[in-house]
Amino acid sequence: MADDKKGEQKINLPQGLQLRVDDEISQGIYSNMQVVGANETEFILDFAYLQPNQMRGKVRSRVIMSPKHAKGLLRLLNQRVKDYEARFGPIVLPAPPPKPGGNLIN
């Protein structure tokens, strides 16, 4: 990223497209929980922060996108995770918790 106008950063993309990121957005947000919903025409991605040892949290950002863009994001994330694991080793996920009312024996 290169600095452009005061308070903005510029991202150069391979196709020559340039995106500007202002200071507030460039700080990002931390999310330790994500919720994804969908209907026929869009995907809704909620990025939330859950307080440690508490069963409450707050959605910090919501992104709404078309199914085509969601599938493109999935492809991009898959590639970035593969690149990350090739460089740093496998990402180990914890076992998912049992579903309420589900069979506890696998």
Query: Rounded to whole angstroms, how far apart are CA atoms 69 and 44?
Result: 11
Classify residue 73 as exposed, middle or buried by CB count within 10 Å of its CB (0-12, 13-18, 19+).
Answer: middle
Contact call for residues 40 and 50 (beta carbons, < 8 A): no
Q: Read off the pLDDT of residues 6-48 as tens digits, 9 standing for 90 and up.
A: 555 555 577 778 888 899 999 999 999 999 999 999 999 999 9
SS3 state at 90 = coil
Amino acid at 96: P
**Mean pLDDT of the residues in the chain:** 86
pTM: 0.72
Q: Are strands 57-65 and 43-50 parallel, antiparallel or unpaired?
A: antiparallel
32: tokens are 């330790």
What type of residue is 88?
F
Q: Bigger pLDDT: 83 or 5?
A: 83
Q: What is the pLDDT of residue 1?
A: 46
